Amino acid sequence: MVRRPPAAPFVHLDVHSGHSRQAGVASIERLVARASAEGHAALALTDTDGAYGLPHFQVCCDAVDLRPLYGAELHGDPRRDGGGDALRARAVLLAENERGYAHLCRLISRRHKAEGETPERPVFFDEDRPFVLADHLPELVEGLVVLTPSVHLLRALAAELGPARPDGPYLAAEIVAHDPPEVRAALVA
């Protein structure tokens, strides 16, 4: 009988804190404490269109010996990145290393600059000045793990990056079943 190694522990890769406008309410302290209490070895913080909480996230993770995974969820142009669907015009970006973190910060800055955002004038999406992820991400994908439900964005990245290589970059499609339980059960039967 062949023994399989134990399954890898589960890690939440798309977590929003109170630093995400209209997307998260939990404090970083509470998120880290909960992950630690549940025995997780790591936790990602992927606030919407920003990295405002990452320094505090690092401090909280260090206090409980939890590995912090730096990231952000960036929203793009629903017309170009999401095929007209605003819910799909997004990507969770996780930094694998220092270069990935630098690229993450650069993409966040471009996102804010593209829409003319200032501290006095926060902007989610301005149709006249859209931020198109597919225009910016391919040049800065090195060192990032990309998770997205956008087939359009995946196609743009694949076209720019060429065939998959063992050394990355890594692309993954986010698949979420929105069907009722009885439909999902019929699909796997």
- Which string of DSSP letters, residue by residue, matches the chain? -PPPPPPPPP-------TTSTTT--S-HHHHHHHHHHTT-SEEEE--BT--TTHHHHHHHHHHTT-EEEEEEEEE--TTTTSTT-TTTSEEEEEE-SHHHHHHHHHHHHHHHHHTT-BTTB--S--TTS---HHHHTGGG-TTEEEEES-HHHHHHHHHHH-S--TT--EEEE-----S-HHHHHHHH-
- At residue 46, does pLDDT exceed 90? yes
More confident residue, 182 or 134: 134
Range with top average pLDDT, 27-36, 78-87, 123-132: 27-36
- At residue 137, does pLDDT exceed 60? yes
pLDDT at 115: 64
- At residue 24, does pLDDT exceed 50? yes
- At residue 93, does pLDDT exceed 80? yes
More confident residue, 78 or 187: 78
pLDDT at 118: 57
User: How does the average pLDDT of the chain come out, rounded?
Assistant: 79
- At residue 128, does pLDDT exceed 60? no
- At residue 127, does pLDDT exceed 60? no
